């Protein structure tokens, strides 16, 4: 059977942003149409669009939409700038952990600063073009990450991944899943174990969906299966994405990642993070400074609107955890692989020029 047509994470058409509503996958492929900046903010908060790079791209297009809204309202000069600054702030606050969000907004705000004399029309065109660039660069970076990362994967490998760091979490191709895709396309014999990733099941709903679409052999497991699999010698390496990597290499990613890194270390299994430079935040010195988003209790007490816990129970629902750099074998970026990451090596990455 032919590969099914690729499902796009997001696209722009007729001045509107179409976001794949990832909450509905794998049952339904449906797009959420955004015509205002608050609609983009809601889509990010409610996780219709999720995954660090995808959130950044959506926010950049959110600003292009805001510029169009401002133009329609007849705003110009200082009033338009203040409207755009409010929009940028509300996008910034939509999710706290993934640094790609503020990174993309900073790029958009820099464009606005450089083009301080631009007319409303020039601003809406300029911001749309900048968002397009951020989108295209992300896709290109992921392919590069895939190409570098595939060098770490032997001709036959059994790989464990957590959450979804695939095409759906990015502008396309994916980071951790990009590495898997690249290795698979090189003819390597792979088997991917997919953690289901409670509470929101990004593994079973999204990564399993991508693996089935790409016809990459994969097996879905519950999150608490990892130790058993490693103990049985069934995992050769772990590869995941990241939401924010601190200057010293500590990396925040979906809750449960840290436990996997500890398990991998005990079993002497390589533990890799794949992420673009836009996920590295040199402004913070360690993972202790990363803000961990806490989400609503209902995500834990219910599965698909079905109650699975008593109403009176206390719930703690952090969306991410931090894996210390010491447990990370290497970080795979579009500028190369950083083995045993530390501040010096990460800083160096930003000085490498593109060919």
- Which residues are at the interface with ligand MRU (CB under 6 A)? 50-53, 98, 163, 165, 169-170, 175, 202, 240-243, 253-254, 319
Nearer Cβ to ligand MRU (22/88): 22
Minimum CB separation from ligand MRU for residue 183, in Å? 17
CA distance 161 to 168: 15
Cis peptide upstream of residue 199 (ω within 30 degrees of 0): yes
Minimum CB separation from ligand MRU for residue 141, in Å? 11
132 among known catalytic residues: no
Q: 21, 138, 195, 243: which is the annotated catalytic residue?
A: 243
Contact (CB, 8 A) for 191 and 159 = yes
The secondary element (H helix, E strand) that includes residue 111 is helix 99-114
Nearer Cβ to ligand MRU (91/98): 98
Nearer Cβ to ligand MRU (43/67): 43
Q: Where do we find the tokens 């001709």?
A: 155
Minimum CB separation from ligand MRU for residue 86, in Å? 24
DSSP codes joined into one string, 57-95: HHHHHHHHHHHHHHHHTT--HHHHHHHHHHHHHHHHTS-
The secondary element (H helix, E strand) that includes residue 230 is helix 226-231
Minimum CB separation from ligand MRU for residue 331, in Å? 12
Closest by Cα among 205, 253, 194 to 229:
194
Contact (CB, 8 A) for 247 and 285 = yes
Nearer Cβ to ligand MRU (111/135): 135
Contacts of residue 253, defined as CB under 8 A and 6 or more positions apart, other chains included, come to 162, 163, 240, 241, 242, 243, 273, 320, 321, 323
Minimum CB separation from ligand MRU for residue 295, in Å? 8
Nearer Cβ to ligand MRU (178/247): 178
Residues catalogued as catalytic: 243
């Amino acid at each position: 059977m032919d590969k099914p047509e690729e499902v796009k994470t997001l696209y722009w058409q007729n001045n509107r942003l179409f976001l794949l509503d990832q909450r509905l996958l794998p049952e339904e492929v449906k797009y959420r149409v955004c015509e205002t900046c608050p609609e983009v903010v809601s889509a990010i908060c409610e996780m219709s669009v999720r995954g660090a790079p995808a959130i950044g791209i959506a926010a950049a297009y959110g600003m292009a939409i805001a510029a169009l809204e401002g133009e329609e309202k007849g705003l110009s000069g200082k009033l338009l700038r203040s409207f755009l600054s409010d929009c940028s702030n509300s996008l910034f606050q939509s999710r706290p952990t993934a640094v790609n969000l503020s990174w993309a907004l900073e790029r958009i705000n820099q464009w606005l600063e450089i083009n301080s004399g631009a007319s409303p029309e020039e601003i809406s065109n300029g911001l749309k073009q900048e968002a397009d660039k951020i989108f295209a660069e992300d896709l290109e970076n992921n392919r590069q990450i895939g190409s570098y990362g595939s060098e770490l994967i032997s001709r036959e490998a059994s790989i464990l991944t957590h959450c979804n760091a695939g095409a759906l979490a990015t502008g396309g191709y994916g980071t951790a899943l990009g590495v898997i895709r690249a290795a698979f396309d090189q003819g390597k014999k792979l088997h991917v174990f997919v953690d289901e990733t409670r509470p929101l099941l990004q593994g079973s709903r999204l990564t399993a969906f991508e693996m089935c679409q790409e016809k990459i052999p994969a097996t879905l497991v519950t999150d608490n299966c990892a130790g058993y699999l490693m103990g049985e010698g069934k995992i050769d390496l772990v590869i995941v994405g990241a939401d924010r990597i601190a200057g010293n290499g500590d990396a925040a990613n979906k809750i449960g990642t840290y436990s996997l890194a500890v398990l991998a270390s005990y079993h002497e299994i390589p533990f890799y993070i794949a992420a673009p430079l836009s996920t590295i935040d040199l402004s913070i010195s360690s993972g202790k400074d990363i803000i961990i988003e806490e989400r609503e209790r209902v995500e834990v007490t219910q599965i698909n609107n079905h109650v699975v816990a008593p109403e009176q129970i206390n719930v703690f629902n952090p969306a991410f955890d931090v894996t210390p750099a010491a447990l990370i074998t290497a970080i795979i970026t579009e500028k190369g692989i950083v083995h045993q990451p530390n501040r010096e090596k990460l800083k160096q990455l930003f000085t490498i020029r593109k060919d």
